[in-house]
Structures are given as C-alpha cells and as structure tokens.
Structure 1
Amino acid sequence: MINQDLISRFNDKYQGQAANKAVENAIAKVGIDQATYNNNTRRRHDFTFSHETKRGKITNQKKSGRCWMFAALNTARVDTMDKLGAETFEFSQNYTLFWDKLERSNYFLDSIIETVDEDLAGRLVSHLLFDPLGDGGQWDMFAGILQKYGAVPKEQMPETYHSSNTNVLDSFLTSKLREFAHTLRQAYFDGKTLDELANLKEDMLYFVYQVLVKALGTPPSEFTYQYRDKEGNFHRLEKMTPQTFFADYVGWDLDNMVSLINAPTEDKPYGRAFTVKYLGTIKEAKAIQYINVPMEVLKQAAIDAIKDGHPVWFGCDVGKISDRQAGIMDLDLYNYADTLGGYSQLNKAERLNYGDSLLTHAMVLVGVDLDDQGHAINWKVENSWGDEVGDKGIFSMSDEWFDEYTYQIAALKDYIPEEWLKALDQGTIELEPWDPMGALAKVK
C-alpha cells in the first residue's frame, strides 16, 4: 500500500542521489529524449551506404495512415522509372486509398454478416466494431488491390484534402459502418435470411461509394499519360487502363512475392505459414500470409534483393528508440540507464507477448552498409514523411535496431531459400484477429 511512510522513504532515497537533481532539471527544460540524447550514436550514422537501389523523390503521406501504400508504391515505382526512362515517378496514393476504403467496407460488412450469431459483447464482434475502416494495411492487402484495380500515375488522381487528412472521413464512415452493422444484425434477429442481408449490403456500399467520390474523386477507368523522360524526350501513352498501366510499367508477378516475418514467440514456430483471421481488404483476394523465419534469413533476403537493385518493403515499430527529426533508429540513441534508471529489459518475444511492441509503420529499404564480411552495419530507409525529416526524407537504421524492432518484409521468392518456402505447402496457421502481427492494418 502506498502511504506517507513509503513516500518519505522514496523521497529520501531520491534526494540522496546527487545526479538526480541535475537530470530532473534537464528533463524539465528539454524533455526526456533530448536530455538523454547520445550524440556519439548520432555520429555513427553518416548516411553513406555500400549498396543502394534506385529511388524516386521523397513522398509525404501527410495526416494519414497510408504508410503501407506509400511504401508499396515507392517500391513499385523503381521498375516504372526504368521502363519509362524517367528520373522520378509517383503513383497516385489517392487512387489506391479509394479502392481500399470501398473494399474494406465490403469486407467489414461481410464479416458482420458472417458473425451475426456471435455475442455482440464477445471479443470477436467487439474487435470488428473497434476499427472497421482504419488507414493501415498489410503487404498482401495491397497486393490484392494492385491485382484487381491496378495503379495510375499521381496526376490521374491527385491528392484531395481528405486523402491527405483522413481523420474526419474515417470517423464519419466508421460511425456509418457501425450503424450498418447494427442494421444487419437487427434484421437477422427479425428473421431476415443471409441472402436478404446481402441485398441490404448493396445499398450500404453505395452510400460508402458516393461519400468516397465526394471526398476523394472518381477513380479513372481509362486515361492518357504524358511525360518527359530523363533525356527530355516527350512521350504520350494513350488509352491506358489502371490494370494495363500496372502490367506494362510495373510488371510484377505478385504471386512470386511473399511476406516474411520475424516473430520469435512460442505460438509462432519458425518455418510455418500464418494468417490473421478477419484481416483483409478484398474479400475474394488471397488471404494474408506470412512465413515466420529467423532474423538472419529475413535480413539476408533483404540484402540480396538490395544488391540486385530491388528496394524492399518492410514493417517495423518506428517509434521505439528513434529520432524522427534526425532520421535515426538506433538502440544506443538515448542514455536511459544513467538518466532514468534504464530502459525496458523485455526481449523481442516478450515485447510482442506483453503488448510493448508491434508493427506501427511501413517504409522501404533502399540501401545497406555492409562490412568486409558482408554483415549489415546500417540500413538506408526511404520514409514517406516528407523531406523535412531525416536526411531529406532518408532514415538510417542500425542493424541492431533492425533485429529488435523490424518484423516483416515483402520479398521475391527468388531471395528466399527453398527450405523456408516449403512452409507454404504445410498449411496455414490462423492467428486471432488481435494478434500483433496484424497490427499494421490498424494504424491510424
């Protein structure tokens, strides 16, 4: 029990340590991170890397949680730049946002219909209702959008106020989707059949569609794209559809790409494939799937891809021990031991199990600095927070930070040893909807 005697003993112990007052004054003036900043660590990040891929100009997701989209499109545009002969290129993130919102609304309503017999106060329905239309997402969710809807240049569906500032739009549609969920469940309890509920859903989806058109614009079905290549030559591509543009100017075989995760928890054995229940965007698309592998396997796949000039989409817990303004992610960045008594001692598995870490942000690996033995020192990261942070939008991540707080990459199967790809033939283990491996899809 906390009583006056205990508080007095705490105070005497605190006042008896002379350094505490100096630390207290420094933190009061500049805050914990600045008072504990380790400048020697900052010096270890010179933003020079032994191996780098091509990349375009830095993008900015602004006040939205579209990091996974930006990262995926920034990965894809390198191939587009090569095929167009362009110095840089940017896809429309608004275009993919539109289809994600519409498809995710459909996915949510289908999930509500599938769970009409579940207790409203139960954990599953409560989870579905908690965040039916967040901005976040996973690699496989985006692959489904690309396969169904393709992609378009940014000029064909530019940003609007609500694509760059999604909070009000998300809040409005979230409330409406919860109303729709109530309507569907009530109709079922009133004796409507599942087919009748599906018919009700169509009107609900139209409501979402017309809101999205008003907020984001109408997605193009056909367009003409004009540009100048890096030599200054003019080009005009006529009668392109989003699907043909993606096929012709990205050309990815999305079935040849797979997500690797590193989740060293007892419930996720290495060498097995996993999915997350009730997590997705396009209902008919392939379910989300990860292969859990040791960190050295995940890192080597990323290194091999970068050496071949391929940027790598990845997901991490970006807020842990990082400096957003300087663009540094390093375990030694803050001297918490001497100032606050120490940082959390949980290991990676324990952080996942106890809710202390999860996937919060997606970015692109566009380089790595390797030592003479081929081991990574620092990683070059392309972020989507604009060019006023980091080294004009580029971040530097120490290899030790990578080990502790990077959880997922998307890679071509060519870079993954066959022994780990066998997991895809062994059946997929289903994780609960609230598992931390699905957290990136819930990012605001």
Structure 2
Amino acid sequence: MTTATTTTTHTGLDPAHLTTLGDDLRADPSFRMARNAATAANVETVTLDRDVLATTDSSTSVKLDSWSVADQKKSGRCWIFAGLNALRGGTGGVIDTTGVKDLELSQTYLHYWDKLEKANHFLGAMAGLVDRDITDRTVQHLLADPVEDGGQWNMFVALVDKYGAVPKYAMPETRSSSDTRAMNRDLSTSLRAGTARMREAWETAGTDGTDAAGSAVGAVHRDTLADVHRILTAHLGTPPERFVWQYRDKNDEFHRIGEMTPLDFAAEYLPRDLDDYVCVVDDPRTSSPKGELFTVEHLGNVVGGAPVTYLNAPIEVIKAAVLESLQDGRPVWFGCDTAAQSHRDRGVWDARLHDYEGFYGVDLDLSKEQRLLTGESQMTHAMVFTGVDIDDNGRPLRWRVENSWGPKAADKGFWTMNDNWFDQYVFEIAVHRDRLPQQYHKALSTSPNVLPAWDPMGALAR
C-alpha cells in the first residue's frame, strides 16, 4: 500500500508580483490612509474603537474590594501577588478579619522561597536528565529559563503550606524584588554552571548509573544550591523565622498580638482549605478533552508538594464558578492573555477593542484554539476577580479585576473586563472544588494526562 504525500514547492519572491502588489496598494485609498496613520501614530491608538471604550462602565453590581492595589513593578511575580491578594480580601480574608484596610502580605517572602525551591526543582530535573544529550528538547527548554519569576496556583499553595506567610513589613520589598532582571540573570548563570558541572561529574564517575556517579551528581546539586542560596539572600535578604505582629485597624484601634512564626500567621489568618482549591482551565484544543485532568512535565517548585494540575472544563463552567464565588464574597485568582485587546490607561479589556483587520484590510481571525496552537495566545498574567456586573437575567456583563500594576491606571488600579473578552482570553481560574458541578469531581482524583514541558498550558509559570 502506497501512502500519498503532498509536495510543496517553495519559490523565491517574484519581482513582477511584488510590483503588482505595490501598484495595488498605491491605487487603494484606504491603504494610503492606513499607511499615513501608522507612520505618524501608534497603531494601538488608531485602531482603538472609541465607542467600545466610551460605553465601558467600571461600575459593577457586585464589588468586593475596598482596599488599594499592590504593584509588582519590574517583576514577573503576578501569580504571587494575585494569590496573596485573593487571600487578603473578601469575606474571611485577612483584611476582613483584622480590619486593616490596606494590609499587604509580603510578596518578597514567598518570592524568596519560590526561587530557592525552583532552583532545587530544576537541579533535580537536571540530575534526572543527565544521561540525555545536552541538545535534547526537554533539557534545552529547562535550561532556557531555569529560575523564572512565573508560577501557578498550585505552586503558590505549596509555598504557603510549607513556609506560611508574613505581613509586608516583616520582609519588605528590595531593589531586586521589584526589578528581578539582574538577580534572575545571575541565578540562571549559577544553575547553568551547576548543570555543566553535574554532567562533567557524571562523565567522570561513569555513566553506567552506579552509586559513584549518582553521589557525584548529588554533590554538585548541593554545592550549586548553596551558591543559589548565597546569591538569592544577597538580593532579597533573609526571610524572618519569627516576627512581632501588631497593627492598627480601620477604627484606629491598636492590636499587639505578639511574636509569631510565618506558619503560625498562615494558620491563624489564611484560609485552611487552600488544598481544596483546584485549577480549572479552558483548553479548547481537541487533543485536550473536556472533563479530564492534565499536568505539565517538569512544572513545579516545591519537591514533594502537590503537583500542578488542571481540570479542563467549558468556559461556561468556569464563568459560573467565578460568578458563584464572587456572589459569596470570595475573590478569584485567574490566568489570562492580558495584552490582547486591552487599553492600559483606561484599564479596559474587550474582544473588539482594536480593529486591526479593518485598519490593515486583512483577515486576522483566529479561534481561541487556533491562537493557542499557533502561539498567538497563551496565559501571560495572573490577577484577581473582585467584582461582576450582572443584568436582570443573571448574566454577567463585565467583570472587575484587581491588577498588580499599581494605582495610576484604570480605576485606581482595578480594571474592567467586558464579558466577551472573558470568553476569548481567560484561560484558568482557581476555585474551591465545591464550586464545580458534581460531574467534574471524579476527574480530580484521576491520574493526570502529562503534557510536554513546553506546552502552552505551562506558560504562566515561565
């Protein structure tokens, strides 16, 4: 039996064809207008649909926030900011419990432990892959960004479970926590150097999997982790083992609770059911069936912690879970493709906000699945839903979002997401398992399907 194949012939650019294309453009008055606009102004400005912007109201019928936004500055710690923001606000949150209006929990504290845990996780992966060629795709993918700022909800919970939390004053921001470029560069160099030494040790001791080879690799692992610890502590400082917890509430009443450990603080003030929260994604790819559980290979931070898993469900199920949580007074952590169809100054997202197709006169339409498959779209940012505007029929019209980009833009840092944008660019939420229909509960206890390390479902953690 002969299998038919398709042969595609590639040819060089034809000057005559290019001349024809140029002539067509010169004869097109709409293109001349677009060219004049694009050469004189920002494309984001000239493609903006002013009607969408003008008719997007920031008010919502459900609004949980009464606090100020935080600012992650020049760092990729959005998932930590979003995690702590989700826990500090709403019914039963730290602000509600203590009465401290603008209380912030230390992002730097969890950031420190995340970096150290990620370094250990990375070195463990490199030890397990030491027998593969250095050009192996998985090895190269991990080496490309050994200790990135990004992360996932499960990784956030793993850190809180192991290290607890502290108020921001107990471990404040540093220059390097607010601008992580130099720190990440040097940590990555250290980990890549450790990887090279690990491979040298493996070759020197013998590549037959003997105890001597394993011991040599393990020694490099420990030495490299000590180097990482030194660099990290130089940039972020030493995390507190204990701190004095005292504060003034919104009524200006003083409270001195006394000395606490970070784990004591978490046990007293953070929700005790964090391990019952699950990540639910809208992965529209036909290769990822709805109702099944997934994980991404080599994705994680705390070795031995709960794995990073995602339950794939329809966007309608995700939206209903967010709506129910907000109506019950609980903010919701979520991941999305934040740059798509957005206006940063006004803090607005709408799926039709920019008319790029009309401006260029070309077809740019892609489905959510196609955008994910081609790399056009993926999770790039984590934030928190803090409100929703619901019409008389119970349908969401727009969503209120606590961002972590400071208070200067949008509604003092709180953004407005029209519901059509939710469908197209929200990919993931973290909610209590009880928010999900019963039919999805069984999947949570199954063995997850394993996606490769470079799968876009892991993009938020890079």
- Using the size of structure 2 for normalisation, the TM-score is 0.94
Cα distance in 1 for partners of 2:226, 2:26 equals 65
- The aligned runs of 1:37-436 (5 Å cut-off) are 37-78=48-89, 79-191=93-205, 192-342=212-362, 344-436=364-456
Structure 1, residues 55-83: CA drift from partner, whole Å, max 9, x if none?
A: 53111000000000100011011100111
Structure 1, residues 189-209: CA drift from partner, whole Å, max 9, x if none?
A: 111422332233222111111
Structure 1, residues 2-55: CA drift from partner, whole Å, max 9, x if none?
A: 232112211111111112222221221212111111110002211011112135
The answer as to 2:35 corresponding to 1:24 is yes
Displacement after TM superposition at 1:245 (Å): 0.4
Comparing 143-152 with 319-328, greater Cα deviation is found at 319-328
Partners of 2:118 and 2:301 within 8 A in 1? yes
Comparing 50-59 with 36-45, greater Cα deviation is found at 50-59
Cα distance in 2 for partners of 1:82, 1:157 equals 22
Cα distance in 1 for partners of 2:306, 2:25 equals 57
Cα distance in 1 for partners of 2:52, 2:17 equals 38
Partners of 2:74 and 2:179 within 8 A in 1? yes
Displacement after TM superposition at 1:318 (Å): 0.6
Specify the code of the residue in structure 1 equivalent to 2:165: A
Q: CA RMSD in A?
A: 1.2
Specify the code of the residue in structure 2 equivalent to 1:441: A
Cα distance in 2 for partners of 1:147, 1:343 equals 48
* Structure 1: segments with no counterpart, 5+ residues: none
* Structure 2: segments with no counterpart, 5+ residues: 1-11, 206-211
Instruction: Provide the secondary structure at the position in 2 that maps to 1:433.
Output: coil
Cα distance in 1 for partners of 2:441, 2:338 equals 28
Cα distance in 1 for partners of 2:42, 2:101 equals 42
Structure 1, residues 201-231: CA drift from partner, whole Å, max 9, x if none?
A: 2221111112111110110010102210111
Partners of 2:66 and 2:101 within 8 A in 1? no
Provide the identity percentage: 40
Specify the code of the residue in structure 2 equivalent to 1:360: T
Partners of 1:56 and 1:77 within 8 A in 2? no
Specify the code of the residue in structure 1 equivalent to 2:355: N
Structure 1, residues 416-436: CA drift from partner, whole Å, max 9, x if none?
A: 111112111232111110110
Comparing 199-208 with 107-116, greater Cα deviation is found at 199-208
Specify the code of the residue in structure 2 equivalent to 1:329: W
Equivalences, count: 442
- Using the size of structure 1 for normalisation, the TM-score is 0.97
Structure 1, residues 376-417: CA drift from partner, whole Å, max 9, x if none?
A: 111111100111121210111111111111100000112111
Cα distance in 1 for partners of 2:350, 2:372 equals 19
Displacement after TM superposition at 1:342 (Å): 4.2
Comparing 289-298 with 413-422, greater Cα deviation is found at 413-422
Partners of 1:73 and 1:91 within 8 A in 2? yes
Specify the code of the residue in structure 1 equivalent to 2:61: S
Structure 1, residues 338-395: CA drift from partner, whole Å, max 9, x if none?
A: 2112462110111111111110000110111111111111111110011112121011
Instruction: Provide the secondary structure at the position in 1 that maps to 2:131.
Output: coil
Partners of 1:52 and 1:307 within 8 A in 2? no
Partners of 1:336 and 1:343 within 8 A in 2? no
